[in-house]
Amino acid sequence: MSTVGYVHWQDRGMWLAYLEEFPHYLTQGESLAELEDNLRDLYKDLTSGEITGVPRVHTTHPA
């Protein structure tokens, strides 16, 4: 995973997060390290092309 943004927070002892490009898909971990591993796996799954119809947020940056 190159530079991919994500939003994370802690709730009831678990870390939760979603990828900014794929906000409909949450993952979790017991530690930040586990959460980041799960985010990498999630990114690979969502960008592999094996799952169809994945909603995606595209952002444009001014030149």
| pLDDT-derived band at 1, boundaries 50, 70, 90 | very low
Give pTM, 2 decimals. 0.84
Residue 57 three-state SS: coil
| pLDDT-derived band at 60, boundaries 50, 70, 90 | confident
pLDDT of residue 59: 77
Span between the terminal Cα atoms of the chain, in Å: 24
Tens digit of each residue's pLDDT (9 = 90 or more) over 9-58:
999 999 999 999 999 999 999 999 999 999 999 999 999 999 899 999 98
Angle value at C-alpha 46, between 57 and 9, nearest 5 degrees: 70
Whether the predicted pLDDT of 7 surpasses 50: yes
